[in-house]
């Protein structure tokens, strides 16, 4: 019977081992090549999926804040159309108090009416001027008009003074005129306050609290001013 020596076995196994190693290396290189070749497509799919997730989160945020589904684009491609015909977003409400006095003298006789009015001023955005959201990998841009006073609602009117003269009497027209002045004063006081600017800050805070993203969220207003 013939027997193989250890030297002959080594000469036979080494070529086989080298061939096996070469085959394994070739397979590894092929797998790496295929992964690298498909990496851009996979990255693009992951990026698109992430942007679409942000789009859904923004839609949910606006529905929660304003009962509105806005128009949303992703990289200039329309992702969602606006479906709810809402014309305004009320973001903040604030109590406004004003006073006005009528003091009139006629032939030595004076009459005086002084009223105090309490109003609720509402600040927000007029969406008839446009609202759009564009989501990009480097930023989320919400374009809308500047905030403004959307309404002033009367809550209470107190009579602080109601003094008739002997022959200079307070008429119904006097009272009606004074009552009509109070809402105008409330509108003016609300418009001159920081309420519209505060409404813009509040909207940005509400959106940031509802969505979590690495991209900066920018409110871009029609005149180009940005809130960052």
Q: Which domain holds residue 96?
A: 54-227
Residue 61 lies in a domain: yes
- 76-85, 102-111, 214-223: range with lowest mean pLDDT: 76-85
Is 5 part of any domain? no
Give the position of tokens 């005086």. Answer: 112
d(C-alpha 54, C-alpha 59), whole Å: 9
pLDDT (tens digit, 9 = 90+) per residue, 28-77?
665 565 555 544 443 334 476 777 777 777 777 777 776 667 777 777 66
Residue 2 maps to a domain: no
**109 DSSP β-pair partners:** 106
pLDDT of residue 42: 37
Residue 99 lies in a domain: yes
pLDDT at res. 19: 67
Number of alpha carbons in the 13 Å side-chain half-sphere of residue 135 = 24
Question: Structural domain tally of the chain?
Answer: 1
**pLDDT, tens only, 154-171:** 999 999 998 888 888 889
User: Is 150 within 8 Å of 126 (Cβ atoms)?
Assistant: yes
Determine, yes or no, domain membership for 177.
yes
Domain membership of residue 193 (yes or no) is yes
- Tell me, yes or no, if the pTM score tops 0.85: no
15 located within any domain: no
Neighbour-count burial for 217-228, b at 16+ CB within 10 Å, e otherwise: bebbbeeeeebe
């Amino acid at each position: 019977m013939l027997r193989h020596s250890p030297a002959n076995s080594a000469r036979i196994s080494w070529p086989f081992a080298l061939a096996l190693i070469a085959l394994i290396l070739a397979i590894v290189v092929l797998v790496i090549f295929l992964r690298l070749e498909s990496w851009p497509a996979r990255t693009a799919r992951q990026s698109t999926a992430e942007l679409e997730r942000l789009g859904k989160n923004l839609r949910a945020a606006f529905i929660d804040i304003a009962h509105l589904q806005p128009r949303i684009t992703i990289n200039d491609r329309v992702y969602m159309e606006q479906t709810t015909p809402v014309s305004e977003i009320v973001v903040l409400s604030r109590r406004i108090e004003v006073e006005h006095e009528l003091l009139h003298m006629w032939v030595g006789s004076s009459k005086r009416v002084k009223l105090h009015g309490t109003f609720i001023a509402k600040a927000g955005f007029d969406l008839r001027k446009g609202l759009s959201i564009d989501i990009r990998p480097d930023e989320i841009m919400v374009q809308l008009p500047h905030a403004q006073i959307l309404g002033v609602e009367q809550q209470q009117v107190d009579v602080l003074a109601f003094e008739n003269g002997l022959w200079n009497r307070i008429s119904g027209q006097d009272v009606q005129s004074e009552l009509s002045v109070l809402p105008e004063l409330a509108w003016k006081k609300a418009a001159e306050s920081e309420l519209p600017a505060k409404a813009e800050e509040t909207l940005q805070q509400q959106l940031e609290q509802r969505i979590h993203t690495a991209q900066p969220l920018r409110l871009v207003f029609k005149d180009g001013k940005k809130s960052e």
